Structures are given as C-alpha cells and as structure tokens.
Amino acid sequence: MENKLMIYNTLSRKKEVFEPLHAPNVGLYVCGPTVYGDAHLGHARPAITFDVLFRYLMALGYKVRYVRNITDVGHLEHDADEGEDKIAKKARLEQLEPMEVVQHYTLRYHKAMEALNVLPPSIEPHASGHIIEQIKLVQEILDNGFAYESKGSVYFDVAKYDKAHHYGILSGRNLDDVLNTTRELDGQDEKRNPADFALWKCAQPEHIMRWPSPWSDGFPGWHCECTAMGRKYLGEQFDIHGGGMDLIFPHHECEIAQGVASMGKPVVKYWMHNNMITINGQKMGKSYNNFINLSQFFDGSYPLLQQPYSPMTIRFFILQAHYRSTVDFGNEALQAAEKGLQRLMDAWNTLNNLVPGSETTANIAGLREKCYEAMNDDLNTAQVISHLFDASRAINQIADKKTTINSADLEELKKTFHLFAFDILGLKEERGNNTGREEAFGKVVDMLLAQRQAAKAAKDWATCDRIRDELSALGFEIKDGKEGTTWKLNR
C-alpha cells in the first residue's frame, strides 16, 4: 500500500512511520488488568484502543502476535512498593483463595471484553505462571550490577542505572524529579535510594502468595512480569508496547530500565498510550469514588446514569474520540453516541437492500482511501466514523431515489463499509436490535395464523391449508390445539 501507517511514539513524542522489526510479523504487548475486581470504564479504553490497532494491523496484512497479560500477583495497593497485594487483600476480605479471586474476575473480564467485541489476544499469560522467568530476570539485573539485595528483597538501583543510561526517557522525568515526588514509603529503610523499586519482595509470614527464590520466599515486583513475559513470547526486541497513559510512570519507565539493565538494549520500538477517561468532567479515581463498572453501564444501575448503555454504544463512544484525547462520559454524550451508532447500523441495513442502477450519481467516491488515510494517521477512528456518516447520508439518498449507484460501486461500498465499521472498528449489530427484529417477524407469523383462523371460520379450507403448508415449508411447525394454534420455528 502507498500510504504508511504512522503511529505516535511516546518515546520520541512524535508520529513515526510504523516499520516492524520482522515484517510481516508484528509483536504487540499490552498491559492487561489486575484481576481483583470487576472491569470498569478505565479497562474498556485500552482494551478497545489496542483491539482496533490489532484489527487494523491484521487488515493491513501483518501477522500479529498480541500478548495481553493478566496480573495476578505482585501488584501492590499503591502501585509502588507499599501496601498489601491487591489480589491477596481481596482474598483475605472475601475469605477465598487468591486464585479463586483471580479465576472469578478473569472470567468476568473476559465476558465484559466479549460484550465490547474486543478480540481475545493471541496469548494471555498470567504473572503467577511466570515466576521462574521473573526470577531469571532479577538474577540477570543483579549479575549486571543494576540491583542489590536487602533483607531478602531485591531492589533496582535507579541511581546507578541512571549514570550508565537514562532513567526517565519515556516519562521525560529526571532522577531529581523522581526523588522529589517519591513519598516516604514502607520498606524505605531497605532501599539505598527512595527512587529504587522492588524486583523481588521478601514475603511477610502472613503473606500467602509466595514462591521460593535465591533471596527469600517472596513474590516478584509488579514491573517484572511484563518485561519477563514480553521477552518470553515476543523476543528480546519487539515492535509495540501499549497501555494507558497512567502506566507511563512508574510502570513502563521501570520496564524500560529492567529491559536495558538485563539485556543491554531497549526492548520496545514503539510505545503507545491511550489517554484517560473522565466522568462528567471529573477524573476517575479511587478518591472520587466514581469507578463505573462495565456491568453497571450495561444495566444502567449506576446512580449517575439515566439509562443503560449497550456495550456497542460504549465502544462507539470511545472510538468517536482519538485515543490520545481524553473522553468525558456523560449521559448527553452517550445518548448522542447511541443515536449515531443506530444511524450507522440503519445505513448498513439500507445499504444491503439497495437496488443498483445503471450509473452512479451518489457521492461515494474515494471512501476506502479516505478511511485508510484516517487510520494511517495514528489510528484516527474519529475521522473514519465521520467518513462513514458521510457514506450513510449518501446511502439514504440512494434509498430515497435522489441519487443512483451502479452495481460495481454498490459492491465496493458494501465491502468498504463492512471492512471499516465491522472488521476494523469492531462494531457489531447488537442482540437488542435483533430481538426487536425477531419480535416483528414473530408478529407477522401471528398475523398469518389469525388469517388462517378467519379462513377456517369461513370454511375456506383451501386458504387454511395453504397458509399452513407454506409456513411449514419455511420451517414453522404449526400445532392446532384446544387452546388455539401455536407455532415454533424448527431450524
């Protein structure tokens, strides 16, 4: 293809031409959820953003290996090296095994992702299943002199690393900034420098999630898993690492440092980050107590919501903004998205019923090229949607006989619409619509049976039999009983 995919690389702070290390193969790693609670809106955005990237890369003909991990150990409450393990805490509060918590919320996460039409990744590794790889990583960093052991824990020596390399290249921070914003935390007495982060933590006696290691019975630091698993499944260097902007520091910064400290060179070529979501203009966060779970969106049970919003409405709403802009969720905007999505789906149905004419007067030229151009410009899904709206208007004009389309252009329009709306943006017609449609079809059958009843009453046996026979031929089973006639569709 002529135009090339440009993506914004957080590392260089500019858009770069995407050139995979080993075309046609592409390695993509995205940080997945820590499974100690239900998936909320904050999970939906990265999942959808990188699902569209995954779909688009495949549409461009690349063979993509997409790794999205499940964090089930080592993610402490305050994201740094303090507090209880999030999974272990939930297990303690609910009197469950940690792995019961993990299993329960992993399944619920999958269900929510399926509802959002997010494709499953190629590999979904669990941190707890890769302790050996993480221990090996920690040992390499120790051997290379960028970590030290302290009371059974192992810490990354940020100051030493910063002298040899540069700590903070992704977030644009320098070591002084980091030190100035580091709070006095647990385990600080074990660290040489408050900026150091844990690679391995010695477990307290009451800590149940623990594994033996050369240093102590304990568990890996949160940042280790992505470095270890990315390397295992995508190699020592791979193409794209993604996640939410909130992960740039410390998580991704630490991943970069771990990669360089263990393997001597940067692991990731392109770093991509989606922006955050606000709710009625307010940041989403624990302190605001405004995490809306996806299930609460789907059933409308969250107090702030005026109605339920379907998974596709949420997907469409998120894609109406560029992934690097913030998205503000509010009822009005969601209702507008719901209507917009319906307009597109209606246009798709109209498109499938259009009758071609001998020539094309409709304004549909260049739709495919325009959509590719938008996607190639750092995944501008908002622009693609606006092109699809233009196409929808053209489709409605053809249906209203104001313009015409020939059969070749009609086929091309159908293919382009399907490619971008369904294959790449990942929209789908929802069951809600189908149920409504099925209901309507059912009523037509009822209507025919009522006519048959009238024919019977008038002793018009020929009409009576004809209706039954024709419905049977279509697969409807008609039963006359004492309570009246019933039917079902056998297929």
Binding site for Zn ion (CB under 5 A): 31, 226
CB of 229 to Zn ion, least distance (A): 9
Question: Which residue's CB is nearer to Zn ion, number 31 or number 391?
Answer: 31
CB of 130 to Zn ion, least distance (A): 12
User: How many Cα atoms occupy the beta-carbon half-sphere of 412 within 13 Å?
Assistant: 12
CB of 57 to Zn ion, least distance (A): 20
Question: Which residue's CB is nearer to Zn ion, number 33 or number 218?
Answer: 33
Question: Can the peptide bond before residue 24 be classed as cis, meaning omega within 30 degrees of 0?
Answer: yes
Q: Widest CA span of the chain, in angstroms? A: 99
Question: Which residue's CB is nearer to Zn ion, number 85 or number 430?
Answer: 85
CB of 263 to Zn ion, least distance (A): 17
Question: Which residue's CB is nearer to Zn ion, number 272 or number 347?
Answer: 272
Question: Which residue's CB is nearer to Zn ion, number 74 or number 311?
Answer: 74
Question: Which residue's CB is nearer to Zn ion, number 26 or number 31?
Answer: 31
The sign of the torsion formed by the CA atoms of 312, 315, 317, 319 equals negative
CB of 251 to Zn ion, least distance (A): 6
Q: Where are the beta strands (DSSP E) in 262-414?
A: 268-274, 277-279, 282-283, 327-329
3-state secondary structure of 225: helix
Angle ∠(414,415,421) on CA atoms, nearest 5: 85
Question: Which residue's CB is nearer to Zn ion, number 65 or number 322?
Answer: 65
CB of 71 to Zn ion, least distance (A): 7
Rg of the chain in Å (alpha carbons)? 28
Question: Which residue's CB is nearer to Zn ion, number 135 or number 228?
Answer: 228
Do 297 and 41 contact (CB within 8 A), yes or no? yes
CB of 174 to Zn ion, least distance (A): 23
Question: Which residue's CB is nearer to Zn ion, number 225 or number 338?
Answer: 225
Do 73 and 87 contact (CB within 8 A), yes or no? yes
Question: Which residue's CB is nearer to Zn ion, number 68 or number 322?
Answer: 68
Query: Can you tell me the distance from the alpha carbon of 380 to that of 61, in angstroms, rounded to the nearest whole number?
Result: 19
User: How many Cα atoms occupy the beta-carbon half-sphere of 133 within 13 Å?
Assistant: 17
DSSP state string for 412-427: HHHHHHIIIIIIIS--
Query: Can you tell me the distance from the alpha carbon of 252 to that of 271, in angstroms, rounded to the nearest whole number?
Result: 9
Measured torsion, CA atoms of residues 350, 356, 362, 367, in degrees rounded to the nearest 10:
70
440-445 CB contacts, 8 Å cutoff, 24+ apart: 445/471, 445/476, 445/487
Question: Which residue's CB is nearer to Zn ion, number 31 or number 272?
Answer: 31
Angle ∠(27,32,37) on CA atoms, nearest 5: 170
Which residues have a Cβ under 8 Å from the Cβ of 40 and sit 6 or more positions away? Answer: 284, 291, 292, 293, 294
CB of 381 to Zn ion, least distance (A): 24
3-state secondary structure of 341: helix
Query: Can you tell me the distance from the alpha carbon of 261 to that of 265, in angstroms, rounded to the nearest whole number?
Result: 8
CB of 255 to Zn ion, least distance (A): 7
CB of 225 to Zn ion, least distance (A): 7
CB of 11 to Zn ion, least distance (A): 16
Query: Can you tell me the distance from the alpha carbon of 156 to that of 250, in angstroms, rounded to the nearest whole number?
Result: 13
Query: Can you tell me the distance from the alpha carbon of 321 to that of 394, in angstroms, rounded to the nearest whole number?
Result: 23
Instruction: Name the token pair of 121.
Output: 């990744």
